[in-house]
Every structure is written in structure tokens, then in C-alpha cells.
Amino acid sequence: MKNKTAIITGITGQDGCYLAKLLLEKQYRVIGTLDPNRQSSLHGLKLVDALSNVDLRDCNLFSFSDVQRLILENEPNEIYHLAGQSSVSESFRQPVHTMELNTRPVINFLDAIRTISRETRFYHASSSEMFGKADTLPVTEQTHFRPVSPYAVSKVAAHNCVSCYRDSYGLFAVSGVLFNHESPLRRPHFFTQRLVRQAREVAAGTRRRIRLGNIEVRRDFGYAPDYVDAMWRMLQHEVPYDFLICSGQSVPLRELVEHVLSRFGLPIECIHIDPELFRPNEIPDMFGSNQFAREQLDWNYALGPCEVMDILINARCNFGHGEDSNDRIASLVGSI
């Protein structure tokens, strides 16, 4: 049997890099798409030692003909659609742009698969933000969506498109509802990386205070390499189901902040809570049940949120920040 072929959109992001590494280890032919209209950093793929073994292709995901051509030329067994606008805060500033980015490519892929490649299995990256202010916790696969941000609304729309095409045309199309998941490859503007970076700068004397938003909310934090393993397992399952991929517990952001401060020997007084960083509509608590994924996918997750933060601290803080330090942490990140 020949090796499988997989297409990954958003391959240069955190999840795309770790997924490429995983699939290459499983002897896949891996094709990653790049946006021809913007420059993408390839440092993440380099760090996980995947850059030289993936086939990178320019593809305008907004163009149905480009998406069709991508599928016709490569005959993928699996497509992992991870590309999109992933910042909740940014979605309040650019709601129309967020809706376009997070829905049109999904429809293009689904309709292309329907018309020319019905055996291809499709994975879509959904988000726990879709549940919003849920009435009961933990949320499950049966919990109704109550989105409270333009980002969440866009994800609900895309999620519903996937289930619509699955139910209407019998496609193997699934959505993974991933909760917060972190790693050393997380982009700098996300909460965990911003916290660790600023704490290191305060400890080094190059910064006075750590500037954060609302740290009284609670979130479900996990570890990205374990979560991309669940993505792959979803497309190997006999039946196309949507799954919640989460740690199964929530933690106050304040607890993570205090843990990081203790690692750097810093007092809580160095935290500056900036109302400008608050979201217009905040979710006070969110965590999910991963029971269905554990039972159906044989997926196990064991890391606690502070253990995840320790991985970020050890990988980034002990070795510096920025692309000029990436080679120095490559062996650590690549071994994860």
C-alpha cells in the first residue's frame, strides 16, 4: 500500500508544524499550503525538523479553482484545514475579515471534495470559543453553541458547513473542537507567550511591569503536540464524528500568572492589569469533557496546565526569544 498523502493548510502555524512532524513520522507525503499574498515564516517547520521534507505550495484558499487544482494535482487521502484568523481580540477589530477568512476556504474545500474527490477525508479546526457562555460545564459534544465574539460566530458558521456537507453528501468531514493549547511555537501575541516573555524581561531588568488583561477568568489549557495527535486519530476513525479535544479541567489565569511569577522569583505587584486588553464580551469560565475522545479515539491526555507553562518557560525563557534564538532551542522543540 502506498504512503498516504495529506494536505495541511496553515502549516506554518503552531498546530500545522507539529502535525507535519507527526505525519512525516508516519511516512505520509505532506503538502503544505502558503498564502501567495503574504510572507510566511518557516521557522516553526525548521524547529520541528520538518521543513526539508514537506512540499510547500502557494494556494489562494479563497479561489475555488485554486483549491480544486490543489486536490486534482495531489490526490490527497486527507486534508487538515488549520488556516484562518485565530485571534478573538482581532475579530472584534476586523469582524468582516474574520468571517471571510474562517468560512470561505472551508466551503471551497468541502465543495471541491464533493465534486472531484469524495474519498478524501477532511478535518476542520473548530474552537471552544463557539460555546461562549455555556449554561453548564463541562461542555460536551451535545452542548449548544452560544458564541460571544465575531471569531466564535465565524467558527460556528464553518463548523455547521462541515456537518451540513457530511450529512447531505456523505463526506468524511469532521471538526475538532480544540480548547486552548499551547507550546513553544505559539505566536507571541497569545496570552501564555506574552506572560512568559514579559516575566523574563522583568526578571532581567529590561522591563518594569507585566501588562495583562483579565486574569480572573478560567480556561482549559492543553499541550499542542498531544492535540494534533487527536486530529490525526479523528481522520483514522471508522465513523466521521466531531470531537472535543481538551484537558477536561479549567484553571484561573491568575493561577498560571502566579506560577510563572514564582518560577522567576517575581512579586505579584509587578502585574499591571490593563483594561484596554479586556475583551468586549468575556467568557468567565470554560472547560470541556474529553470522555468521548478518550473512548472513541483511544486518546489519552495527562499534562496539567502548570506543566504546560513549565515547558514554555524552559523552551523559551532559558534560551531567549526571537528568531535569532530559534536554532538554540531547536533540539528541545524538535524532540517534543
How do residues 281-304 score in pLDDT, each as one tens digit?
Answer: 889 999 999 999 999 999 999 999
pLDDT confidence band for 179 (50 / 70 / 90): very high
Q: What is the pLDDT of residue 39?
A: 79
pLDDT confidence band for 23 (50 / 70 / 90): very high
How far from 179 is each of 15, 24, 110, CA to CA, in Å?
A: 13, 25, 24
Q: What is the pLDDT of residue 288?
A: 97
Helix locations, the chain, DSSP H = 14-25, 43-47, 64-74, 88-93, 95-116, 150-169, 191-204, 224-236, 253-264, 291-297, 305-312, 326-334
Q: What is the pLDDT of residue 157?
A: 98
Q: What is the pLDDT of residue 317?
A: 52
pLDDT confidence band for 40 (50 / 70 / 90): confident
Percentage of residues in the chain with pLDDT exceeding 90? 86
pLDDT tens for each residue of 208-231: 999 999 999 999 999 999 999 999
Distance CA 293, CA 214 (A): 31
Percentage of residues in the chain with pLDDT exceeding 70? 93
Closest CA to 109 of 168, 75, 62, 151: 62
Distance CA 231, CA 121 (A): 12
Q: What is the pLDDT of residue 335?
A: 35
pLDDT confidence band for 66 (50 / 70 / 90): very high
Cβ count near 198 (within 10 Å): 20
Q: What is the pLDDT of residue 38?
A: 82
The residues spanned by each domain of the chain are 5-181+221-245, 187-219+250-285+306-334
Region of residue 205 (left: phi > 0; alpha: psi -120 to 50; beta: else): left
Q: What is the pLDDT of residue 316?
A: 66
Backbone φ and ψ for 212, nearest 5 degrees, come out as: -135, 165
Q: What is the pLDDT of residue 325?
A: 42
Mean pLDDT of 188-200: 92
Distance CA 31, CA 20 (A): 9
Distance CA 316, CA 47 (A): 13
Mean pLDDT of 261-278: 95
Distance CA 61, CA 108 (A): 7
- In CATH, the number for domain 5-181+221-245 is 3.40.50.720
Whether 108 has a pLDDT exceeding 60, the answer reads yes
CATH architecture of 187-219+250-285+306-334: Alpha-Beta Complex (3.90)
Q: What is the pLDDT of residue 322?
A: 44
How far from 53 is each of 20, 24, 36, CA to CA, in Å?
A: 9, 8, 20
Residue type at position 203: A
Answer yes or no: are the C-beta atoms of 139 and 288 closer than 8 Å: yes
Whether the full predicted model's pTM is greater than 0.85, yes or no, is yes
Mean pLDDT of 248-275: 96
Q: What is the pLDDT of residue 334?
A: 35
What nine digits make up the cell of 175? Answer: 471538526
Closest CA to 62 of 107, 116, 126, 123: 107
Which residues are CB-neighbours of 15 under 8 A, at least 6 positions away? 82, 125, 181, 224, 227, 228, 231
Mean pLDDT of 181-210: 93
